[in-house]
Amino acid sequence: MAASERRENAQQLAGVHAEPRRLCDLLDCGWKLFEEVDTTNESTGSNHIQVKVKRGITALEEASRMAAQLDLFSRNELLEEIATTDLKYLLLPVLLGALTMKQTNRATRLQSVQMARVYFYDFLRRCKDYNVSNFELPFSATENSTCGEELENGADKNKPTASATQPNLVAMATQRQAKIERYRQRKETEAKLSEIRRVVESGQADDEAVRGFYLLNLKKWVMTSLEEIESIDQEVAILKRTTVPNSTESSSEHKHPSRPPVKPFILTKDAVQAKVFGAGYPSLATMTVDDWYEQRQKCGFLPDQGVPRTAAVIQDYDTEELAEEEKEKRVEMDDEEALQKARDWDDWKDTHRRGYGNRKNMG
């Protein structure tokens, strides 16, 4: 990492403590950082983006603590009773959840998504209390894990149920239709938000327009939170399966004894036919390599392999070796007969091509 980049990251981290400690400034800072991270073309796993994610989480966590100390919200009041300036602070937990999902550390990924689910659920529960929009509140993290344990440890877990063997097509169709409707509403809400945002950011919007802007943000994030919780539940199930150590599996594999080699067998059409005509394979081996070697060795067709040779074999070998040595000595001693014979053979080869007199090949 370059020195300039390290210096910039250090300044950004130090900027967290330099931020004004006003509640509205902390919320604006976290919201702005989330939008920068969410709309950037840079890789989310880059160090520069992760520094922004950390800054945003720190600012929003401090804002959440301040909002809790001020006791801005209560379940006994209605949505209309919340002041327009305080309405945006309902977004604190959902922004925290969205930024937490941007963390890419694999070692703490399970803890990150579980914490993000808590943030999303807290936001949905508060929106449900204030009746921001009409939706069904999903299971909390505790209820979700309890239901999973009951399904795994139940008395009739080995007994197939009707829902397990036959999928509920009506429920699946209803769920699919709800997702389509939710997606359509989210797109319409985002289109309205893009129109109102320009007026609100210009500072010329009245109190009603600002309130409508924050209410549209709440409705948009309700639909986003429902989708995020569904994907988080699937990711948590996958992460829990992948983080299980494989030591037990490897040890169980070593405990199994090695199987004896399977003897080769031949499939024949008829057992009697196999006895009469044989197996029917011309290249079928009738003996092993060791048996063949022993048979050839007994017949004397193999080299001695260090075994002492018989007297006859030694005598034949000595006779041939002496004849070769005598021939070499005669050539070395300039024997006239041997030299003349060699010259005649060379002269004959000069006047007769190779294969001369071979009438079979007609050469």
pLDDT of residue 151: 44
- Asked whether residue 221 falls in the same domain as residue 275, the answer is no
The predicted-structure confidence for 307-361, as pLDDT tens digits, reads as follows 555 555 555 656 777 777 777 776 666 677 777 887 888 888 888 777 776 666 5
Distances (CA, A) of 20 to 15, 24, 69: 10, 9, 17
User: Do 222 and 284 share a structural domain?
Assistant: no
Going from the C-alpha of 235 to that of each of 57, 99, 102, 114, the distances in angstroms are 21, 17, 14, 10
Domain count for the chain: 2
Q: What pLDDT was estimated at residue 285?
A: 61
pLDDT of residue 111: 94
CB distance 31 to 91 below 8 Å: yes
Query: Is the residue at 69 inside a domain?
Result: yes
* pLDDT of 200: 84
Separation CA 308–CA 250 (nearest Å): 53
Residue numbers in the chain where pLDDT is lower than 70:
1-20, 142-167, 244-286, 302-318, 330-334, 357-363
Please give the single-letter amino acid code of residue 305.
Q
Cβ–Cβ < 8 Å for 64, 30: no
* Nearest-angstrom CA–CA distance, 41 and 32: 16
Question: Do residues 300 and 223 both lie within one domain?
Answer: no
Range of 295's domain?
271-351
What is the pLDDT at residue 31?
A: 94
Question: Is there a single domain that holds both residue 80 and residue 221?
Answer: yes
DSSP 91: G
CATH number assigned to the domain comprising residue 187: 1.25.40.540
**87 and 235 in a common domain:** yes
Asked whether residue 140 is assigned to any structural domain, the reply reads yes
Per-residue tokens: 286: 């009738």
The answer to whether the CB of 125 falls within 8 A of the CB of 240 is no
pLDDT at position 37 is 93
- Burial code (b: 16+ CB inside 10 Å, e: under 16) for 219-245 equals bbbbbbbbebbeebbebbeeeeeeeee
Same-domain status, 179 and 312: no
Q: Is the pTM of this model over 0.85?
A: no
The reply to whether 42 and 120 lie within a common domain is yes
